[in-house]
Structure 1
Amino acid sequence: MPKDDPRIARARAAWRFRGQTRPDFAVEPGPRQESVWDYPRPPVILPEPRPVRVLAGTLTLAESHRAVRVCETGSPPTLYVPPQDVAMHLLTVSPMRSFCEWKGQARYFRLEDSATPATDVAWCYPEPLAGFEHSAGWICFYPGRVACFLGGERVRAQPGGYYGGWITADIVGPFKGEPGTSHW
């Protein structure tokens, strides 16, 4: 879908919250915490100084000190790892596709020898839209489907199953994906 497609413009305009002001229902962040309601829309890509580690049982799927995080209003950050730091031979391309009005078309991955082969565990944007070119082909894992660690902390999954945000102790919500959040 070309970036000037009117469907993209409509999808981008539909977002109610854009990070300029924190809504009344947002949790007030404590010391050394961030509110997802302070993140902007369109999302931003930021360097992540903490190491990332992703496991499937005893298999290491990714280890990186070069990850970036994508921060978007209402969602916990998603952590993207360069493909050079991912055991790509353990992943197989899934038929699943989705489209993000900011990042473009996503490709999904499953574990190659998984006991649940129909479960997508990661995704990437092979040809992202303008502004996200830096992360082309970088892999993000679902923390609810594989064990994800950020700086040694076990990451909690973003609610709802569709989104793949990484919830850590330094992030407060509420988060998109929880019941009643579809209008965000």
Structure 2
Amino acid sequence: MSDQVVENKPAAEPAIRTVRVLIQPTPRKIRVRFGGETVAESVKALIVHERGHLPVYYFPREDVRFDLLESTDHSTHCPLKGDASYWTIQAGGRISENAAWSYPEAIPESKGLEGYIAFYWDRVDQWFEEEEEVFVHPRDPYKRVDFLASTRHIRVELDGVTVAESRSPVISFETGQPVRYYLPEADVNSEYLLSSDTVTRCPYKGIAAYHSVQVAGTEHKDLIWRYNEPIAAAKAIEGRLSFYNERVQIYVDGELEVVAKSERSVLDSIRLHIA
């Protein structure tokens, strides 16, 4: 086995100027549902990037069902946007308190948000981009995910035991994340796998199921995940298994991979730029 080490780390931060809030139109049709009703739907929504936060969709007031909203006394202040007013959603016999907000008199830096309404992602039932359901948060237009078929020799070791080995991985290259290796199920030793009830959601891949791994009597909880029914853009990894690189030893063509921590500042700088 080679003693060489291959490092998996983000590129150096680009030398670009940054802004604190970036407001852009999105060409996608965005839809929000709650209590069996479409609360907002628009082809003129904005996507707003703010340093240190996930992207947020804002809808023109005319594309929001105000018959389903009730204004509240709740308010908050943001130094980058101004004072926010809030609404509670009532639909289908259900209530989601202070689930929507707007900036009726935004500060000059964020004037473009006046006349728009935003919703907390986790206080509504469903989000759609066009007719495809999206989970967790909006898909960031400055983030890229590529799934590439490969013939690299991937060997996964845990506590000195080889638990998977493949020469036909699909490799995921995702902005701001470590490289991930999705292996055919047949190339993962099933004798070490334990079932798990854990389920997570990813806006770029879909709904993930998990396996724990037990080696020499030690259980490693939710070490493996798979997308049995990924979204169309992630079809290449359907049914394949991937390990957390950070919790195992992965050898790529005989060289031990060292996974560096993601540097969110790199993605933030790319996302919040002035052309």
Q: TM-score range by the shorter chain?
A: 0.5 to 0.7
1:17 to 111, 121, 142: 142
Structure 1 position 61 matched with structure 2 position 163: yes
**How many residues are matched?**
142
Partner of 2:235: 133
Maintained 8 Å contact 2:159/2:215: no
Maintained 8 Å contact 2:209/2:226: yes
Q: SS where residue 50 of structure 1 aligns?
A: coil
RMSD: 2.8
AA of the residue aligned to 1:57: D
Q: SS where residue 46 of structure 1 aligns?
A: strand
State the distance in 2 between where 1:10 and 1:143 align. Answer: 24
Q: Judging changes above 3 Å, is the alpha-carbon distance between structure 1 residues 158 and 120 closer, same or farther for their aligned structure 2 residues? A: farther
Maintained 8 Å contact 2:176/2:267: no
The alpha carbon displacement at 1:47 in A equals 1.9
2:176 to 74, 81, 85: 74
Q: Judging changes above 3 Å, is the alpha-carbon distance between structure 1 residues 6 and 50 closer, same or farther for their aligned structure 2 residues? A: closer
The alpha carbon displacement at 1:45 in A equals 0.9
Q: Judging changes above 3 Å, is the alpha-carbon distance between structure 1 residues 117 and 45 closer, same or farther for their aligned structure 2 residues? A: same
CA-to-aligned-CA distance 1:46-87 (integer Å, 9 cap, x gap): 122320000122322111100011112222321110101110
Maintained 8 Å contact 1:78/1:140: yes
Partner of 1:95: 197
Q: Judging changes above 3 Å, is the alpha-carbon distance between structure 1 residues 8 and 141 closer, same or farther for their aligned structure 2 residues? A: closer
Q: Judging changes above 3 Å, is the alpha-carbon distance between structure 1 residues 108 and 72 closer, same or farther for their aligned structure 2 residues? A: same
AA of the residue aligned to 1:149: Y
- Bigger radius of gyration, 1 or 2? 2
AA of the residue aligned to 2:228: P
Q: What are the within-5 Å matches in structure 2 for residues 33-182 of structure 1?
A: 41=144, 43-113=145-215, 115-117=217-219, 119-159=221-261, 175-176=262-263
TM-score (norm 2): 0.45
CA-to-aligned-CA distance 1:11-63 (integer Å, 9 cap, x gap): 11xx2633xxxxxxxxxxxxxxxxxxxxxx2x121122320000122322111
Q: Judging changes above 3 Å, is the alpha-carbon distance between structure 1 residues 81 and 60 closer, same or farther for their aligned structure 2 residues? A: same
Q: Percent identity?
A: 28
Q: Where in structure 1 do 4 or more consecutive aligned residues deviate above 6 Å? A: none
The alpha carbon displacement at 1:93 in A equals 2.1
Maintained 8 Å contact 1:106/1:123: yes
**More strand by proportion, 1 or 2?**
2
Query: Which segments of 5 or more consecutive residues in structure 2 lack a partner in the other structure?
Result: 1-125
State the distance in 2 between where 1:137 and 1:158 align. Answer: 27
Q: Judging changes above 3 Å, is the alpha-carbon distance between structure 1 residues 140 and 156 closer, same or farther for their aligned structure 2 residues? A: same
Which region of structure 1 is more displaced relative to structure 2, 104-113 or 60-69?
A: 104-113
CA-to-aligned-CA distance 1:103-161 (integer Å, 9 cap, x gap): 101111111356553522111111111122232110111122121111112122352xx
Maintained 8 Å contact 1:93/1:107: no
Partner of 1:29: none
Q: Judging changes above 3 Å, is the alpha-carbon distance between structure 1 residues 100 and 9 closer, same or farther for their aligned structure 2 residues? A: closer
Maintained 8 Å contact 2:135/2:206: no
